[in-house]
């Protein structure tokens, strides 16, 4: 979700900087980029090591509240082409799921801002036992949709998320945003979703099936 469907990474970065500054420390953009796509508990532990003297659950909920506040104040910033691709998939009858490491409540708020029936399932980081880069979130997403993971296409903007998607067995596409996704096993890496449609996803899925001998 974050960085693929919606451009919330700047909100997370701002929240992290403000929180670290409260404890008299400095948090840079480079520091934040190391957390892109990570599970929130793991990110909170990194923030603790940077000087944030708060329990992990408190850090997670604080940052979630900060980003939700930004979404409420400024609206949901969709990534170029993401909403259009999602609508085209829905019009084609394709089942869709959000598989994010953000809290379920944040994903629900993002989905509620979409003016069509966008998703059949929502999986947040608090809905699975093991986070990305484990494949569990994507396997849970496929189960929620009632489909085989090998019949799924995953779109990811972070190395952590892409590793999870590849490990799950889904046809995985990297959508580069803040960090490079080369060399992580994606079926393809795109710079943007703008101009992409269901046929682009089907082509890569069919190509993977052919290479796998299916």
**R_g of the chain computed on alpha carbons:** 17
pTM above 0.85, yes or no: yes
Domains and CATH numbers, the chain: 9-74 (1.10.150), 82-211 (3.40.50.1000)
Q: Which H or E run includes 200? A: helix 198-211
CA distance 49 to 207: 44
CA distance 175 to 108: 22
CA distance 113 to 117: 10
CA distance 27 to 14: 10
Which residue, 152, 177, 178, is CA-closest to 165?
152
One digit per residue, pLDDT tens: the chain, 214 residues? 998 999 988 898 999 999 999 999 999 988 988 888 778 899 999 999 999 999 999 999 999 999 999 999 988 999 999 999 999 999 999 999 999 999 999 999 999 999 999 999 999 999 999 999 999 999 999 999 999 999 999 999 999 999 999 999 999 999 998 889 999 999 999 999 999 999 999 999 999 877 765 4
């Amino acid at each position: 979700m974050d960085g693929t469907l919606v451009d919330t990474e700047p909100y997370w970065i701002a929240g992290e900087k403000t929180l670290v500054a409260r404890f008299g420390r400095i948090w840079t953009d480079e520091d934040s980029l190391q957390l892109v796509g990570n599970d929130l508990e793991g990110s909170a532990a990194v923030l603790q090591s940077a000087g944030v003297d708060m329990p992990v659950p408190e850090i997670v909920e604080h940052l979630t509240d900060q980003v939700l506040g930004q979404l409420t104040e400024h609206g949901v910033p969709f990534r170029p082409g993401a909403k259009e691709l999602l609508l085209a998939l829905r019009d084609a009858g394709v089942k869709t799921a959000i598989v994010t490491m953000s809290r379920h409540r944040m994903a629900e708020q993002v989905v509620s801002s979409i003016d069509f029936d966008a998703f059949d399932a929502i999986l947040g980081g608090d809905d699975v036992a093991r986070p990305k880069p484990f494949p569990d979130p994507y396997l849970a997403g496929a189960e929620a949709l009632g489909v085989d993971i090998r019949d799924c296409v995953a779109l990811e903007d972070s190395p952590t998320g892409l590793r999870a998607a590849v490990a799950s067995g889904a046809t995985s596409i990297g959508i580069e945003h803040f960090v490079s996704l080369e060399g992580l096993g994606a079926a393809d890496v795109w710079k943007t979703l703008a101009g992409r449609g269901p046929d682009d996803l089907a082509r890569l899925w069919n190509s993977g099936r052919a290479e796998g001998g299916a």
